[in-house]
Every structure is written in structure tokens, then in C-alpha cells.
Amino acid sequence: MIKKIIRFFIFSLLICLPVSAQNFSPDELVNISVYEKINPAIVSIDANLDDGFSAGTGCIIRSDGVILTGSHVIEGANDIEVTTYNGKIYKASVLAKMGKNKDLALLKIESKKPMKTISFGNSEDVKVGQKVLAIGNPFGFAGTLTSGIVSRIDYAKGRIQTDAAINPGCSGGPLLNSQGEVIGISQSIYNPDNNISNIGIGFAIPVNDAKKFIETANLQDTPLTNKKHFAFK
């Protein structure tokens, strides 16, 4: 009789558990948690050029609409549009950009409400083999999550190599650790077909390089050096 009561009690507890606890593995719960936390701070970027257009991804780093992305995404742009996760479209202006080597840029959009922002991690803590997640806009499919590991750290070129799928349109998006902290900014892929598709060799700029860029950007009326606006680690 006691055994039956215990079994019934355990069964009742299982029924009452949240769906997430019943249906998802711990690893899946990490993916879901990071995505739901970070995706509202990720934007799609469309830049109109003289000879076509460029598409990429950006991270909102300040609640008043300052966005970090790749400089090659907006290089030579006549007009830049930013689309947030909920479909709102904004015109963006360029605040600062670096050369192709560092490949970083800051944009600004005007939002009437405070915007969700990403949190920075520390790229010096990155280890080969650790799990990473990437959110981007591959081929126009906004808000796409992929996962993988850190495959290699290229100290000479200052790049984090990953097998998480990074495709055209993902440039400027975040490479994240399991805590949802940005550890790199997606930049490029390498493959035999002229970078048309992903074969598991992608590169990201270490986030500490991005921090230095943000801190040293000399922007009038835009005090980016004030750390209270950011979630530095």
C-alpha cells in the first residue's frame, strides 16, 4: 500500500512539472534560455549600395539604440535599414567604423522605448572545445540559432574559429557562450566554393577587440566610454 502511495505521489509530481522540465534535455534548455534572452537584442541589417545591397546582423549594445556590427556589412552604404526581432524597421546612421582587418562598426537607430541589449563576456577565457551559439540572419532568415564548439583560436590573426554554422548574412552577429555572453562577433567563413556555403569553418572577432573599439570610439554627444551603459565582464 505504501509503495502504491509513493508511486502515485511521484507520478503526480511528474504531471505537475513544467513542460520544459519534462520535454527538454539540459543542453536543450541552455540553447532555449540563451536564445530567448539574447534574440531580442539582435537585429538584421540591410545596406543599400551603388551596385546592390549588403545584408548582415547586429547586436544592440546600448538601450538607446547603439548597434555593433561588421564594418564590411555597411561599407559604401547609401542607406541602412535595421529590423528588430519583432519586425520593426529603423533607419540607421553610422557612428564609427574600423578597417577591414578589425572589421567592426557602430550604428545608431532612434527608438522611443529602451531596447534590449547583449552582455559582453571575456574572450580571454575562451577555450577550444567549449560550446558556443550563434544568432544571425543567414540568407535573410532572421533570428536563426546555430550551435557548435570553439574549433581553434588563431592567436596570430586574432580570430576565434568555430564550427557553428555561420553563413552569408550572419556577419556582425554574436558568438555566445553557454551563459548567453557575447565572446565574439561573427565575421567570415572559409570554404572551397568561394564562401557561398558553410562547411564548418567560421571565424569571429574576439569580443575584447570589440570592447576596445567601443571604448576608444570618439563620438560627439554619444558617450560610449561610459561603462554604466554596458554589461562588461
Residues with a catalytic annotation lie at: 72, 103, 171
Strands, E assignment, the chain: 42-49, 52-62, 66-69, 79-83, 89-91, 93-97, 105-108, 119-120, 131-136, 144-154, 159-162, 174-176, 181-189, 202-206
Which residues are within 8 A (CB) of 218 and not within 5 positions of it... i.e. 6 or more apart? Answer: 96
Number of helices followed by number of strands (H, E) in the chain: 5, 14
DSSP, collapsed to helix, strand or coil, labels residue 197 as coil
> CB–CB of 29/143 below 8 Å?
no
Contact 94, 153 (CB under 8 A): no
* Three-state SS at 104: coil
Question: Residue type for 62, please?
Answer: R
83 CB neighbour count, 10 Å cutoff: 16
- CA 180 – CA 175 distance, rounded (Å): 9
Phi and psi at residue 33, to the nearest 5°? -60, -45
